[in-house]
Structure 1
Amino acid sequence: MRIQNLGPIKDGTVQLNRLTVLTGNNGTGKTLAAYSLFAFRYWLENQFTPNLVTEAQIQQIIAGEPVTNTVDYYLSVLEKQLIDNFNKLNDSESFYQNFFRDDSVYVSGTTKLTINKHDISELILPKEKRLNWFYRWDYNLETDSIEGQSSVNNLIENRIYSTYLDKSDSIFTYYDVEGGKQEQSGVSQAPSMSQATKLVSGNIFNDLFASRKTSFYMPAERIGINVFRNRLNNQIVNDSLQVPVANANQIETTTSANERYPYPIEAYIKYINNSLGRLKEPLDKRVQDEKLKALVDGLVPGEFVYDEVKNEVNYNLPDQTENRTVTFNLLSSSLKSLFGIDIFIRNIGEGNWLFIDEPEMNLHPTRQVMMMDFLYQLAAIGTNVVISTHSDYLVKELMNLMLADKVKENTATSQLVRVYNFEASTITDLGDITDDDVELANFDITTDQINNRYYGLIDQLDKRGSTHES
């Protein structure tokens, strides 16, 4: 994504990888960049509507005329539609104004967030995961007639049938068939003509793109949200947490009396409210690996529990003493910070996205290292992770993890890492941070300054002592 004139960012580009790390000083735009990347994921998952099949093609199908296109054709059409539709959000502006909710950050007519073909190509499912489908509609000639029919609902039989193509076949075929029908569950009535086109377009899109993956954003404000969740619910959730939409006509015209927040913050509130029931579920099978489970137990040694009657979250200590339950408000700030992650790891799902602003928040250096190990392992099992951080411990541990993989000649995960430094209104790709010539100035210069001053003061004290002795 190219980001132009957004807060302190004048012009910079971020290319996502499985694990993407944003570093830099305060006020350089890391959080805004993460917001922007999350905005694309939100739009892709909730608002993009592909348009791949026309009503004329549906009429052809009903008439028994086959309509065929190659997979490459649909990929090229989808790429263009995704790029054009997302980039046009800058023209309407209502989406971003309702997403950032700060006119001084997203400046109408000046700020631009754009994607290109490379960004889309990263979302295309690998060939071994693509599903090629036949989509079949049977027109019931015994009860309906195309000519003179006033309702298009009756033009299509009340079931949609589908079957897999051989995975080596690269052709999608749409046609009217007789016999050998396999009913697809979940379809209860005949779709209209427009519904049929949307259904087929959506299915093709989902078969080719990793679009059904969901994204979870953990903002820096998460501790306050977790502590004051009930109060926020009374004030904000009752306003329905208005979501950003691409069409200005869809935005509610009523003005809320309550303060509203950037959408990533409100998305976190909604996620927590809707996911508390997951605390009763076991950990996702992907984190049952011995190494990952040990990291999880190290970060959250006890157990969060949700009382549905009281609508409150408590924490069971890991020891077996009689009074082992602690109310959420009395927990350490580190556990309050990790609460959202504890929910997330109960239903990770392959390919989902985890955004974390300052994952090191309130963690002792030992646990910061443990957090980086955990995020690195999440990326290794297929979770997409984007973090913004100020932590020297996190970044240095990431370097160690990548180096350790290189020593083992297993670079599969280390090659899935990309690190960016935010400085002087620009965004710099640091490349392979394990290379000798890569300097993490964000941390190293400060560390060197502290050490140099320390040793300089020690020298002065030593010289003073020598003078007094003489």
Structure 2
Amino acid sequence: MKVEIRNLGVIEKAEIDLKPLTVFIGRNGEGKTWAAYTLSAILGQQGYGNYLKAYLDGKTQQTYPIIDSALQQLLDEGNAQIDMIEFANDCAEIYINDVARLAPNWMRSFMATERADFDNLQVDLNLAETKAELLKRIKSASVESEISLGLLNALKESDEGILYFYSNGKILNKLPKKAIKQFVIQEIFQMLHKAFYAYIHIFPTERTTFITFPLSSFELREVRSEELLKETDKSEFERRKTPLGEPVKRLLEMIIWSSRKKDREEEIKKNPLVEGYVKLADFLEKEILQGKVGFETSELRKELLFQPKESTKLEMPIVSSMVKELAPLVLCLRYLVEPNELLIIDEPEMNLHPAAQVEIAEFLAMLVNAGLHVLITTHSPYIVDHLANLMQAAKHEDPDSIKEMFYLERTDAFISQEKVSVYLFEDGTAKNIISEEGTINWETFGQVSDDVSHIYANLLKIQD
């Protein structure tokens, strides 16, 4: 999916091709995080929820005659159907660009700022190269929901294109037309929106702080992750008039949701890929953290602990910075993540030793190969350089023969170049820096290394 961003902070114009693994690099203050968060605001649950409300209030630029026809048929006959494949083929790009058009209206709230200016923000999305995959996801989606104890039902079976709305006889007369309209439009928009990314999990840099807080500090109402429109109750921080941006709210929700989940057996029965994500959480603990992350409930409270060995359990405030950094990712993989979800990780190298940074580069590639999407911002030359190694390794005729050269010794850490994009943010734009051969042509890190070497050489000359 290709995205063009204009007038976002220091970014004048940036053209980005979102791949399964997308990497933003560049100096501080070049707009990497703002770009990542803006994409989340449009493509995530915030974009869906705000657009649905605006559409129901008649405040969107676009209208959809096919939805109006289905609504009228439903009111007249008590049942209706809509071909979601046809609707997505004709309207998906129109829809998501209409969502993007409204983004300036809610970006201040999303970012928890009163001073930043988003009035001139423009985001345009082009689905030409990704529409086939989008339609495939629409076809595989399944829906079975109801309103008011079955007065109105929605049904779509997996591998079918038709979304049905139906009721029994004249029973719809018991529902107000506004409720019927909201139910129908909500089901249609939600299916379409989730076809881009089923859900977006954000790991802001604040994660190393909030993961140490007692769970009681941010009690949130439990919601299902697929209910994109639902909002959380106010957290303790908001009650104290402490503004929280949506990325931090999503992190807090993730921690709370994880603390309330016991296992994923039913989810695994429905989708075996989920078991792979649980195993990836175990692998992250064993191979990188070298200990276990988990919740423990006493008579008084539930807390998140780290267990580096069988006889030792530690509270989060006193564990290593690497554990604080990666514990949220463990929780997300073990309890929440599902296929076609997007993980946005701001500086995954934060607090990691260089060896661990190389390992996390391999692990992120493993996540992508397991059916997830990952977008990171980074300042790490180790991650960027090693990503080039992983792309070259994916071209090798016998991957097993070279896996021992790599830190995690896993062939599923090798990633195809077609799945990767790397952009250098500087001078108000973003430049694709992967060559056709798979090398990554960056200077933002190398120039600093050269400067340090030159300073050292000059100091030696002076001393001589």
TM-score w.r.t. length of structure 1: 0.73
CA contact (8 A) 2:391 2:415 kept: no
Aligned to 2:123: 114
Query: What SS class does the counterpart of residue 351 from structure 1 fall into?
Result: coil
Aligned to 1:99: 110
User: Larger Rg: 1 or 2?
Assistant: 1
Aligned to 1:81: 95
Find 2:254's aligned residue among 256, 263, 271: 271
Query: What SS class does the counterpart of residue 56 from structure 1 fall into?
Result: helix
Query: What SS class does the counterpart of residue 407 from structure 1 fall into?
Result: coil
Find 1:317's aligned residue among 293, 297, 308: 308
**CA distance in 2: counterparts of 1:128 and 1:227, whole angstroms:** 37
Per-residue deviation, residues 347-368 of structure 1 (Å, max 9, x unmatched): 3210111111110111111111
CA contact (8 A) 1:7 1:104 kept: no
| Residue type at the aligned position of 1:98 | S
**CA distance in 2: counterparts of 1:189 and 1:426, whole angstroms:** 55
Closer/same/farther in 2, CA of residues 340 and 123 from structure 1, 3 Å limit: farther
| Residue type at the aligned position of 1:13 | E
Find 1:61's aligned residue among 51, 58, 77: 77
**CA distance in 1: counterparts of 2:288 and 2:365, whole angstroms:** 14
Aligned to 2:370: 381
The unaligned stretches of length 5 or more in structure 2 are: 56-63, 222-227, 269-273, 400-413
- 5 Å matches for 1:335-350? 335-346=323-334, 347-350=336-339
**CA distance in 2: counterparts of 1:233 and 1:70, whole angstroms:** 39
Question: Greater CA deviation, 401-410 or 117-126?
Answer: 117-126
**CA distance in 1: counterparts of 2:261 and 2:461, whole angstroms:** 58
Query: What SS class does the counterpart of residue 323 from structure 2 fall into?
Result: helix
Closer/same/farther in 2, CA of residues 202 and 432 from structure 1, 3 Å limit: farther
Find 2:11's aligned residue among 9, 15, 18: 9
Superposition deviation, residue 383 in structure 1: 0.7
% identical aligned pairs: 22
Superposition deviation, residue 17 in structure 1: 1.3
Find 1:443's aligned residue among 445, 454, 461: 445
CA contact (8 A) 1:48 1:82 kept: no
CA contact (8 A) 1:279 1:304 kept: no
Query: What SS class does the counterpart of residue 444 from structure 2 fall into?
Result: helix
Closer/same/farther in 2, CA of residues 414 and 162 from structure 1, 3 Å limit: same
Aligned to 2:224: none
Aligned to 1:422: 425
Find 2:46's aligned residue among 23, 28, 43: 43
Query: What SS class does the counterpart of residue 360 from structure 1 fall into?
Result: coil
Superposition deviation, residue 382 in structure 1: 1.1
CA contact (8 A) 2:93 2:127 kept: no
Find 2:383's aligned residue among 394, 408, 417: 394
- 5 Å matches for 1:145-160? 158=151, 160=153
Find 1:360's aligned residue among 341, 349, 370: 349
CA contact (8 A) 1:304 1:316 kept: yes
**CA distance in 2: counterparts of 1:68 and 1:259, whole angstroms:** 44
Closer/same/farther in 2, CA of residues 79 and 446 from structure 1, 3 Å limit: same
- 5 Å matches for 1:235-250? none
**CA distance in 1: counterparts of 2:94 and 2:103, whole angstroms:** 15
Per-residue deviation, residues 327-380 of structure 1 (Å, max 9, x unmatched): 222111110111101101113210111111110111111111111111111011
| Residue type at the aligned position of 2:119 | G
Closer/same/farther in 2, CA of residues 363 and 119 from structure 1, 3 Å limit: farther
Superposition deviation, residue 198 in structure 1: 4.0
CA contact (8 A) 2:390 2:415 kept: no
Per-residue deviation, residues 19-72 of structure 1 (Å, max 9, x unmatched): 11110011111111111111111334544437653332224534x9x8776833
- 5 Å matches for 1:280-295? 284-287=274-277, 294-295=283-284
Closer/same/farther in 2, CA of residues 342 and 281 from structure 1, 3 Å limit: farther
Aligned to 1:233: 218
Query: What SS class does the counterpart of residue 13 from structure 2 fall into?
Result: strand
CA contact (8 A) 2:26 2:426 kept: yes
Closer/same/farther in 2, CA of residues 227 and 61 from structure 1, 3 Å limit: same
Aligned to 2:36: 34
| Residue type at the aligned position of 2:397 | K
| Residue type at the aligned position of 1:12 | A
Superposition deviation, residue 386 in structure 1: 0.9
Aligned to 2:201: 216
Question: Greater CA deviation, 3-12 or 447-456?
Answer: 447-456
Aligned to 1:142: none
**CA distance in 1: counterparts of 2:132 and 2:214, whole angstroms:** 34
1:413 aligns with 2:436: no
**CA distance in 2: counterparts of 1:125 and 1:451, whole angstroms:** 49
CA contact (8 A) 1:351 1:382 kept: yes
Aligned to 1:467: none
Question: Greater CA deviation, 20-29 or 38-47?
Answer: 38-47
| Residue type at the aligned position of 2:354 | P
**CA distance in 2: counterparts of 1:277 and 1:133, whole angstroms:** 25
Query: What SS class does the counterpart of residue 343 from structure 2 fall into?
Result: strand
Aligned to 1:125: 134
CA contact (8 A) 1:229 1:269 kept: no
**CA distance in 1: counterparts of 2:163 and 2:333, whole angstroms:** 37
CA RMSD of aligned residues (A): 4.3
Per-residue deviation, residues 53-109 of structure 1 (Å, max 9, x unmatched): 3332224534x9x8776833453234323322431333xx2x11211222443x153
Closer/same/farther in 2, CA of residues 159 and 268 from structure 1, 3 Å limit: closer
**CA distance in 2: counterparts of 1:161 and 1:315, whole angstroms:** 44
Per-residue deviation, residues 215-239 of structure 1 (Å, max 9, x unmatched): 11111111111223558539xx79x
**CA distance in 2: counterparts of 1:177 and 1:310, whole angstroms:** 48
Superposition deviation, residue 130 in structure 1: 0.4
The unaligned stretches of length 5 or more in structure 1 are: 138-152, 179-186, 239-244, 465-470
Superposition deviation, residue 407 in structure 1: 2.2
CA contact (8 A) 1:279 1:343 kept: no
Question: Greater CA deviation, 381-390 or 121-130?
Answer: 121-130
Superposition deviation, residue 166 in structure 1: 7.7
**CA distance in 2: counterparts of 1:445 and 1:228, whole angstroms:** 39
